[in-house]
Each structure stands twice: as structure tokens, then as C-alpha cells.
Amino acid sequence: MVHPDAGRGPDALAEAARAAGVAGIYSADEAHAELVAAAAHALGLPCFSARAARLLRNKEALRAVLAKDTELNPRYGVADTLAAALSALERLGLPAVVKPVDGSGGRGALIVRDMDDASLAFVRASRAASNGRVVVEPYLAGTEYRVVCQSGEGSWAILAVLSNVPAGRDHLFDRAVVAPVRVAGALRTRLREQVRTAMRLAGGFQGVVVFEFLAVGEALHLLEIAHINETPALATRLFPAICGINLLELDVASSVGRPFETKPRFTACGALWWLKPQSGIVVSVHGIVEARAVPGVAAIEVSAKVGTVLGHQVDAPSRDAAGYVLATARTPRRALEKAQYASEYLRFETSAALET
């Protein structure tokens, strides 16, 4: 819920919080992270730093900070006009990704494989950005790791490392997420070192954040930093299934300086497999009972109900519109197999137009 005084700025929000005698102010999404940080700091309440709030929200700011002290950036460009975006694409080469400077969840991001598609990609990303600016980066094939960290009281800890299963070469969203994955040797050391570096450069996070890294050969890139509440399926479904901890509850407690037990209650491996129906208007959904009967299936979320209009799956929000299957097992691979197998029972019937 957005507090009614949020639209009047941080001073008004701080005054409302002071009058209510609250113990903390929680940012329920990245869009209000900077507002909440400013209001909380004005009252001396626990919160992430102003710079950390900026980096959660703004990819241009993140790239600028990383460029000064690290080699974690991929090559990139920032554009606020189509001409500037075309220039960046020509310099970086294809395929490339065009995405909004701010925002979350992959909304508005597209892969450009042909310069004829550049105009569409720029318009889509620009409209999704609050200031019309876009980031252009090469599309790199590699292994993506999400490092989930809890931070507060001047310390931080890695809770788990997750890995994405790509949906395919023409899509930026993932088909599935598996957790936890074992990262050993030099890569494990580098991931931990770079998380420490990012924590230092951000000036302090408070709560649960996800560092999204891409390993390409020997290179390691930090794609973005996300607040855990931007990925609710991971926070409230996948993570509780593998260790018994609800990351949103942990995030709220950490953000307001309250103690919360982070010791796993049990250990398992899990996989979230997103459903993929065809586009159109949903007229029926079949196979839910059969899918739930598959051993190891912990949850099925069918977001698309009868009457839901599904578009083509081009980004994470369009992918999320259908739902997912969550399965657990002794290994990430087996959990992934179970989730995929169960998903094959689920069938969406769609029509191209409403019947009259």
C-alpha cells in the first residue's frame, strides 16, 4: 500500500510517520525506494542508504558507479533519442538489449537482432522509463546467477545462490529458476568478492536484495540489483519451499531493524517453472488436479483465469501472466524435471476474440 502522503514527497511522508510513531518505513516496491530512504533517514529510522535506493531503481546510476571502481559492467550506452540508441547499437553490435533506465522485472526490455527492430525496441523501453532514457547493452550468452543477500546492522550474509534456465534465444525472461545451486572454486570466491564490492559502493542496503550476475567465460558482469519484493514468487514460494524462510517477512523485519531467524528450518532443492500458454482470451484451464498429483509438486499458481487476455510472451511481466509450477526434490536438476513434467498437464484453451 502506498501511503497517501507519499505523493507529497519525503518530508510529508516523514511527518506522517513521525505522527504515527512508527518503528520503521518499508518500501514495498523499488519505485518508492528513494522516497522511503529519504523519509526514514530524516527520522533516524533503519533504511538503505540514499545511494543504495538509487541503484535499486536506476540502471544508469548503477553503471556509472560500477564503472569507477570495478570491471563488472558489460559494454553499454545510454540514450534518450532514437538516433542516440541507433548510434549505441551500431557501436556495440548486434544482438543487443534495449531496456528502460529505471523500472524492474524486465518490463519494456527487448533483444534487437536486426536494426529494423531498433525503433520498436527504443519506443517500448522509452515508454517504460520514467524519464524516457534507455540503456543499450550487448546481448551476452552466459550463465546467470542470482545471489540473495540479507543486509543490516553493518553486516551482510549470502542466503542462497539461484540460477536461471533461459527461455530461449529470442527472449530475455527465464523459463525457470532453480535453487540453491552449488557454486565452488574461483567463481564462488569472485561472486562473494563482487557482492562485497557492490555493498561497499552502494553505501549500505537494509533488508533482502538480489544481485544478478552474468558469467560469460572468465568475465563476470553485474546486470542489476533488485529488491526482493520485486520477485514475489521467489520470495514467498520458492525460498520457503527450500528452507522454510519467507523472504518478504525477513525483508520487512530487516528493513525496520527487527530480529528475524535466518537459520534454515530444513534444506531442499526447488524449481519454479513458468507456464507458457498461447496468446488470446482464456476460455478454459485444464490439468490442475493432474499436475498437483505429480510427486514433488509443492504449489501451482495459475494466474490466467477464464477471461484473462494473454499477449505474446515478450518480457517477464507477460510471462508471469500465466502462472507457474513449483516442485522440490533432492537436487536442482530433479526439481526442474518434476516442475516441467507437471507443467505439461496444464493446458490453456484460448480464443482469438470474444464470442458474441
* pLDDT tens column, 105-142: 778 899 999 999 999 999 999 999 999 999 999 999 89
Question: Is the pLDDT assigned to residue 2 strictly greater than 80?
Answer: no
Cα gap 327→36, rounded to integer Å: 36
The answer to whether the beta carbons of residues 96 and 21 sit under 8 Å apart is: no
Q: Tell me the mean pLDDT in the region 245-249.
A: 95
Helical axes 185-202 vs 50-57, angle rounded to 10°: 120
For residue 36, what is its C-alpha cell?
522511503
Per domain, the residue ranges of the chain are 6-47, 75-138, 141-255, 269-351
**Minimal CA–CA distance to 32: which of 19, 45, 13, 46?**
13
Cα gap 79→193, rounded to integer Å: 31
Question: Is the pLDDT assigned to residue 268 strictly greater than 80?
Answer: yes
Secondary structure class of 96 (helix, strand, coil): strand
For residue 168, what is its C-alpha cell?
530461449
Q: Which pLDDT score is estimated for 4?
A: 52
**Minimal CA–CA distance to 75: which of 97, 56, 53?**
97
| Element (DSSP H or E) covering residue 88 | helix 82-92
Cα gap 80→176, rounded to integer Å: 33
Q: Tell me the mean pLDDT in the region 157-184.
A: 89
Q: Which pLDDT score is estimated for 141?
A: 87
Cα gap 34→51, rounded to integer Å: 8
Q: Which residues of 167-186 are buried (b: 16+ CB within 10 A; e: fewer)?
A: beeebbbbbbbbbbeebeee
CA 103 to chain centre: 10
Q: Which pLDDT score is estimated for 6?
A: 53
pLDDT in tens, 276-325: 888 999 999 999 999 999 999 999 999 999 999 998 888 777 888 899 99
- Hey, which residues does 327 pair with through a beta bridge? 271, 297
> Based on C-alpha coordinates, what's the Rg of the chain?
21
For residue 44, what is its C-alpha cell?
533516524
What are the two backbone dihedrals, phi and then psi, of residue 268, each rounded to the nearest 5 degrees? -150, 175
What is the number of helices (H) and of strands (E) in the chain?
A: 13, 15
Q: Which pLDDT score is estimated for 98?
A: 96
CATH number of 269-351: 3.30.470.20
pTM: 0.91
Give the strand pairing for 207-216 and 219-227. antiparallel
For residue 56, what is its C-alpha cell?
535499486
Do the domains 75-138 and 141-255 sit in the same CATH topology, yes or no? no
For residue 317, what is its C-alpha cell?
511481466
Class of the domain covering 141-255: alpha beta
CATH number of 75-138: 3.30.1490.20
For residue 259, what is its C-alpha cell?
530480529
Full strand arrangement of the beta sheet holding 96-100: 77-79, 134-138, 96-100, 110-112
Burial degree of 340 (CB within 10 A; 0-12, 13-18, 19+): middle
> Alpha carbon of 194 to those of 48, 65, 76, 259: distances in Å?
19, 13, 19, 26
Q: Which pLDDT score is estimated for 258?
A: 85
